[in-house]
Chains A and B, each alone.
Chain A
Amino acid sequence: MTTVLGACGTIVASSFVIFLALSNAPGDPVAGLLGAKSTDAARAAKRAELGLDDPLLVRYWHWLTDALHGDFGTSVVFRQDVAGLIGPRLETTLLLVALASVLMLAAGISLGVAGGVSRRWRSLVSAAVGLGISVPAFVAAGFLTSVFAVSLGWFPTFGAGVGLLDRIHHLALPAVALSIGYGAYIAQLTSAAVHEESGKEHVETSRGRGISERRILRAHILTNAALPVMTASGLAIAGLVTGAVVVEEAFAIDGIGSLLVKSISSKDYSVVLAVSLVIVTVFVVMTTIIDIAQAFLDPRQRGAVR
C-alpha cells in the first residue's frame, strides 16, 4: 500500500514539475496555432479560449482534476483527444521496447555469462561491450538501415507496419539499434557479477568437492549473480523507453517518443504532460517490480517491501 501511494505521489509530483517547466519555457503556443498573419485580437481570444491567461496553479488544478477523471485534455495542435493521439503510438513504442528488451537481455546476459566464466571469451566480450557502449543509437540506426534495408533489402527503411508480423518486421532494425547500448551495459554487468561469484569461496569449495562445472554455474554462480543483473535489467528496460525517442526519429516511427519531441516544440501542454507521465509511470512501475523481485530472490530483504 505504501508502495502504491509513493508511486502515485511520484507521478503527481512529476506532473507538477513538468507543468511548471513547460509554462516557463519561452515561446507562445498561439504563435504556432494561428500563424504569423493573425491579429493581436485573434491571438488574445485564442489565449483566453485555451485558458493560457489563467494563473499557473489554476491551470494545473484544472488539468489535475480532469486527469483524475481520465480526461487528459485535447491537443491544441492536432485539435484531437490526447488519449486518441497517444493510444496507437503507445502500442508502437511498447512493442519496440519489448522487442529491444528481449534482444538486450538475450544478447547481454549470454555474452555476459560467457565472458564471466571463460577466460578466452573475456577479452572478446569486453571489446564488444566497449564498442556497444560507445556507438550512439542514431549512428547504429544509419548503419543498420543502409546495410540491411537499403543494400540487402531485408527490412523496410521506415515506419511501424500494420498487423503483428509486419510490425515486428518493421521494428526489428530499430529494436537492434535501440538494444545495443543497454545490451552492452547488461553484458558488462553480468560478466562482472559472474566473474565475481565464480571466484567466491563456496564456489571454489564446490569445485574441490568435484561437483560439475555446469551444476556449479547453475546452482551457485547464476543464482547469486541474478540479483544485480535483474536490478540493472529493470532499469535498462525503463531506459529503453526514453532511448526510443532517438531511434523513433531515426527510423521515422511515430511512437510516443517522436510525439513528445514534436509536442514540446509546439508547447502542446496536454500531450507533453500525458506522454511524460507515461514515461514516469514506466519508471515507477519498473522500480517497484525490481523491489518486489529483489525481496523475492533475496531472503534478507523479505519483509522490507509490503
Chain B
Amino acid sequence: MAHQTSGPRRLGLLALSLAATAMLAACGNGSDDRPEPVTKDDLVDVLPSAKGGVDVVKWNLPAEPDTLDPANTVTYASGTVVRSLCDTLLTRDPDLALKPNLASYEVVSPTEIVYTIRDDVKFWDGTPLTAEDVAWSLNRMRSSDFVLSFAFINVKSIDVTGPDQVTVSFSEPDELFLNSGPALGVMEKKYSEAHADAIGTPDGGLMCSGPFELESWSPGSSIKLSRNPDYWNAERKPLAETVAFSFVGDATALTQALNAGEIDGAYEIPASAVPALSKSSVGRITFGRSMQGLNLNVARPDGPMSDNDVRQALQRGIDRGALADVIYNGAAEPTYTYVTPTTWPEGQRDAYQKAYDAFVAERKYDVEAAKKLVAKSGYDGETIVLALTAGDDTESRSAQLIQEQAAAIGLTVKLKPLQPLVYDQAGYDAAKRKELGLDLMLSSNFNGAPDPLEPMGFTSLPGQPYNYTDFDDAEATALLTEARQTFDDDQRAEMVIKAQQIIEEDSAVIPLLSTYTTTFLNDRLTGAITSFAYWSMPAMAFIGAAK
C-alpha cells in the first residue's frame, strides 16, 4: 500500500513487510576497522552479526508512539517498538520470500487462504497461542476503527476452521492480502478483551508472544522492553536483556546524545544530522535500502498542471541528483518512476529494469528540453501552488530547490507550507485541495511490500484516494485489476509493466527520490538491520555486542 504521507512523521502504510532486501542476504562488510565515510555507493542492509549479549540497548524513536496497538501501528516509532513485541502472522526473510511465522499458509483457492497455527508458541504469560487468538486478532483489525483495516478490503470472513486452523475467505481474489501477513500482529484474546479500552496504552499494555515483553511505558520519558526468556523462534532470540526507547525528536539534541554515547542508536536519522554524525568518533552512520520515496503529486484535475507538457517539463527540469546530494546529504538517490526500484519483486527485476531504463533516458535532467516543453505547452505564466508540510526542514529545502529549478525552465511556483493535520486532510479530501488552490503536493510515501500493485492502485485506479487527477484509463484499470487476481509472478509483472507504461505517460506523479533508511549505531553494538526491513521485523532482537 503505497502511502502518501506528510513526511517521515507519519508513515502510513503499512508495511507489509519489507522488502528491500536481497540485500539482507548480502550482508556484509565484516571489517572491524573504523568505517570509511559512507557514500551512496555502499548501501548496507544489515551490520555484521553480534558476538554476544548485552545488558541494555538504548534506542531512540523519532517521536513518542501514540499507541502500541498492533492494529494502529503505522508510524516509524510505533512500528519499531511493536514489531519487537508482537509476533506477526507471516514474516519475510532477507531474500524477501514470504515465510511462515506464527502460521504457515496455503492458498486453497483464489478466494480462500488457510493458515495453520504453530503449536509451540506461548504468550508472555505462559498461555499457549490458539487459532482462536489469531482469528480474534485479525477480525478485530477489520473494524474501520483501526488504521490497518484497509488491508482487509476484499476479506469476506475470518473463521476458526480447525483446532489449529484459521480460514480467510475473500469476496474477490486478492494477491495483496498475503503480502500483508507480515504486518498483522497477533494478541492474546483473553487479555485483550479484559483490557479492551486500554490496549496499547501506557495503562493497558499488551499481551503478545514476541521476543521482548513490554516492561513499562512512562509517558513522556521512555518505553522499556525486557527479553522474553522463553521465546519460541531460535533465529530471533534477543541479544539484549533490556531495550530502553527514548523519544528525542530534535535533530541537534539527538546528534549530541548519540555522540555522547547516551543513546546507542536510532533509525530515520534526519538528513540534516547526517554530516555531523558521519564524523562521529563513537559510532557509525549507515545508509540502507528502503522503499520510501519523495514525489510531486499533481493535486487536482484542472489548473496549470493539467497540461501534460507542463508535467513532462517538470520531469526533465528537476535535477534529482542535486536534490539527493545537496539536501539529503547522499541519503537518497534519483528515481524516475513512481514505483521505486526497491519495490520491484525480486524474481522479476530484469523485466522491470528494462522498462525503467527507458524512463531514465526520457526523463534525464535537461534544462533546454524542459524549456522547449514549457514553450510548447499552454502554460501562460500562472502561479503553480506547491503544498508541503510545515516544520520539516528537509522537505522545505527540497521545495525551495524545486521552486528555483522550475523558475529556470519558465514555471512560476509558489510554496505553500501546511500544518500537518491540514496537509493530511488535503491528502484525502479533494474539496480541501481545491479550497486551498493546490496544484502540486510534495509528499513522501512508502511501499509496504515489494509489490508495485500496492502504490499503483492507489494513484491510478478510478475512485481511489490518491487519484487526484481523476485518471481513468480503461486498459490500465483492466490490467491492474487482473494483476491483483493473478497469483503467477511473471504474468503479473507483465501486466503491471504494461499498466505502468500507460500510467507514467500521464505523469500525474513526478517521482523525485528514493530515500534511504539512515541508521546510527554506537561502535559497542552491531547486528542491526539497517534497511527499511527493520520496520517489518523484530529489529531490536538482532542488536548485540560488537566484541
User: Which residues of A pack against B, CB within 8 Å?
Assistant: 26-29, 31-32, 34-39, 41-42, 45-46, 77-81, 84-85, 88-89, 92, 142, 145-146, 149-150, 153, 156-160, 249-252, 254-255, 259, 262, 265-267
Contact partners of B218 in chain A: CB under 8 A: 88
A79 is contacted by which of B5, B67, B221, B247 (Cβ under 8 Å)?
B67
Which B residues fall within an 8 A CB radius of A?
1, 3-5, 10, 12-13, 63-64, 66-67, 74, 144-145, 147, 149-150, 197-198, 200-203, 218-221, 246-250, 252-254, 256-257, 259-260, 262-263, 391, 419-422, 424-425, 427-428, 465
The residues of B that contact A32 with a CB separation of less than 8 Å are 10, 420-421, 424
Known: A79-B67, A88-B220, A150-B256. A38 touches B425 (CB 8 A): no
Asked whether, in the complex, the Cβ of B219 is within 8 Å of the Cβ of A34, the reply is no
With CB as the reference atom, state the residue of chain B lying closest to A153.
B260
Q: A36-B4, A78-B219, A80-B203 are in contact. Are A158 and B253 (CB under 8 A)?
A: yes
> Do B425 and A89 touch across chains, with their CB atoms under 8 A apart?
no
* Partner among B5, B64, B203 whose Cβ is within 8 Å of the Cβ of A36: B5
Q: Which of B3, B64, B419, B428 has the most CB of A within 10 A?
A: B428
Report whether B144 and A42 are in contact in the complex, using a CB–CB cutoff of 8 Å.
yes
Contact B428 A158 (CB under 8 A): no
Find B221's partner among A46, A150, A160 (CB 8 Å cutoff): A160
The reply to whether B421 and A266 form a contact with Cβ atoms under 8 Å apart is: yes
The answer for the CA separation of A157 and B250 in the assembled complex, in Å, is 12
- Cβ–Cβ contact B147 & A34, under 8 A: yes
In chain A, what residue has the closest Cβ to B200? A79
Residues of chain A contacted by B260 (CB below 8 angstroms):
149-150, 153, 156-157
Given contacts A153-B260, A158-B254, 17 further A-B contacts (CB under 8 A): A31-B425, A35-B13, A35-B147, A38-B428, A45-B145, A79-B197, A92-B220, A146-B256, A156-B262, A157-B256, A157-B262, A159-B246, A160-B220, A252-B247, A252-B248, A254-B221, A262-B63
Contact of A37 with B67 in the complex, beta carbons under 8 Å: no
Q: Are B422 and A80 in contact (CB under 8 A)?
A: no
18 A-B interface contacts by CB (under 8 A):
A27-B420, A28-B425, A35-B12, A35-B13, A37-B3, A37-B12, A42-B145, A78-B219, A79-B66, A79-B67, A145-B253, A145-B256, A150-B260, A156-B262, A158-B254, A158-B256, A254-B64, A266-B420
CA distance A294 to B391 in the complex (A): 44
Residue of B nearest to A85 (CB): B219
Q: Which residues of A contact B64 (CB under 8 A)?
A: 254
CB distance from B183 to the nearest CB of A (A): 13
A138 to chain B, nearest CB (A): 9
**Is the beta-carbon distance between A27 and B203 smaller than 8 angstroms?**
no
**CB of B168, distance to nearest CB on chain A (Å):** 20
In the A-B complex, the 10 residue pairs with the smallest Cβ-Cβ separation, listed nearest first, are: A27-B421, A254-B220, A42-B144, A31-B424, A252-B248, A35-B147, A37-B150, A157-B257, A31-B425, A27-B422
- Whether B428 and A31, one on each chain, are in contact in the complex, defined by CB atoms closer than 8 angstroms, is yes
A218 CA to B253 CA, complexed, in Å: 45
Q: Inside 8 A of A249's CB, which chain B residues have their CB?
A: 249-250
Q: How far is the CA of A77 from the CA of B1 in the complex (A)?
A: 23
- Cα–Cα distance between A156 and B221 once the two chains are bound (Å): 14
Query: Are B252 and A142 in contact (CB-based, < 8 A)?
Result: yes
Check B247–A254 contact: CB distance below 8 A.
yes
Q: How far is the CA of A27 from the CA of B197 in the complex (A)?
A: 26
Closest-CB distance, A90 to chain B (whole angstroms): 10
- The contact of A267 among B203, B421, B465, by CB within 8 Å, is B421
A259 to B219, CA, bound (A): 10
Q: A27 and B425: CB pair below 8 A?
A: yes
A84 partner residues in chain B, CB cutoff 8 A:
202-203, 219
User: Are A78 and B253 neighbours in the complex by a CB distance under 8 Å?
Assistant: no
Cβ-defined contact, B248 with A265, below 8 A: no
Given A45-B144, A254-B64, also A80-B201 (CB < 8 A): yes
B422 to chain A, nearest CB (A): 4
- In the complex, A49 Cα to B452 Cα: how many Å? 36
Query: Could you say which residues of chain A place their CB within 8 Å of the CB of B12?
Result: 35-37
CB–CB B424/A36 < 8 A: yes
Q: From B143, which residue of chain A is reached at the shortest CB distance?
A: A42
Closest chain A residue to B426, Cβ basis: A31
- Report whether B1 and A26 are in contact in the complex, using a CB–CB cutoff of 8 Å: no
A39 contacts across to B, CB distance below 8 A: 144
In the complex, are the beta carbons of B247 and A36 less than 8 A apart? no
The residue among B10, B12, B202 with the most chain A CB atoms within 10 A of its own CB is B202
Q: In the bound complex, what is the Cα–Cα distance between A78 and B5 (angstroms)?
A: 20
B421 touches A150 (CB 8 A): no
A154 to B502, CA, bound (A): 62
Q: Which of B150, B198, B201, B219 has the most CB of A within 10 A?
A: B219
Query: B220–A158 contact, CB under 8 A?
Result: no
Q: Is the CB of A80 within 8 A of B219?
A: yes
Q: How far is the CA of A142 from the CA of B257 in the complex (A)?
A: 12
Residues of A within 8 A of B248 (CB): 158, 252
Q: List residues of chain B with CB within 8 A of the CB of A92.
A: 220
Query: In the complex, what residues of A have CB within 8 A of residue B256's CB?
Result: 145-146, 149-150, 157-158
With a cutoff of 8 Å between Cβ atoms, the chain A residues found around residue B428 in the complex are 31, 36, 38
Please, how many angstroms separate the alpha-carbon atoms of A92 and B3 in the complex?
37
Whether A35 lies near B74 (C-beta < 8 A) is: yes
CB proximity of B248 to chain A, nearest CB, Å:
4
B201 & A79 in contact (Cβ 8 Å cutoff): yes
Whether A38 pairs with B147 at a CB distance below 8 angstroms is: yes
Asked if residues B246 and A265 are in contact (CB atoms below 8 Å), the reply is: no
Query: Which one, B13, B197, B221, contacts A88 given CB within 8 A?
Result: B221
In the complex, the answer to whether B145 meets A46 with C-beta atoms within 8 Å is yes
Q: How far is the CA of A26 from the CA of B418 in the complex (A)?
A: 10
Nearest B-chain residue to A162, judged by Cβ: B221
Residues of B with C-beta under 8 A to A28: 421, 424-425
Known: A89-B219, A158-B246. A77 touches B66 (CB 8 A): yes
A92 to B222, CA, bound (A): 14
Interchain nearest-CB distance for B242 vs A (Å): 14
Q: Is the Cβ of B144 less than 8 Å from the Cβ of A41?
A: yes
Nearest B residue (CB) for A27:
B421
Least CB distance from A54 to B in Å reads: 19
User: Quick one: which of A28, A37, A80, A250 has the most chain B CB within 10 A?
Assistant: A37
CB-based nearest A residue for B218: A88
- Contacts A35-B74, A150-B260, A259-B220 given; indicate if A250 touches B253 (C-beta within 8 A): yes
Closest approach, in angstroms, between the C-beta of A72 and any C-beta of chain B? 15
A39–B66 Cα distance when bound, in Å, is: 21
Within 8 Å by CB of A89, from B3, B149, B220, lies B220
- Are B249 and A252 in touch, CB under 8 angstroms? yes
A31-B421 contact, Cβ under 8 Å, with A80-B203, A160-B221: yes
Q: Is the CB of B257 within 8 A of A38?
A: no
Q: Do B3 and A150 have beta carbons less than 8 Å apart?
A: no
User: Which residues on the B side are within 8 Å of A46 (C-beta)?
Assistant: 145
Distance between B451 CB and nearest chain A CB, rounded to angstroms: 16
Complex Cα gap A262–B62 (Å): 13
Residues A38 and B150 in contact, CB atoms below 8 Å apart: yes
Chain B residues lying within 8 Å of A81, measured Cβ to Cβ, are 203
On chain A, the residues within 8 Å of B13 by CB distance are 35, 37
B253 touches A251 (CB 8 A): yes
Q: Could you say which of A37, A77, A145, A156 contacts B147, with CB atoms under 8 Å apart?
A: A37
Whether the pair B220, A42 counts as a contact (CB closer than 8 A) is no
Q: How far is the CB of A135 from chain B (nearest CB, A)?
A: 16
B253, A36: Cβ atoms closer than 8 Å? no
Q: Provide the residues of chain B in CB contact with A156, threshold 8 Å.
A: 260, 262
What CA separation (Å) do A147 and B63 show in the bound complex? Answer: 26
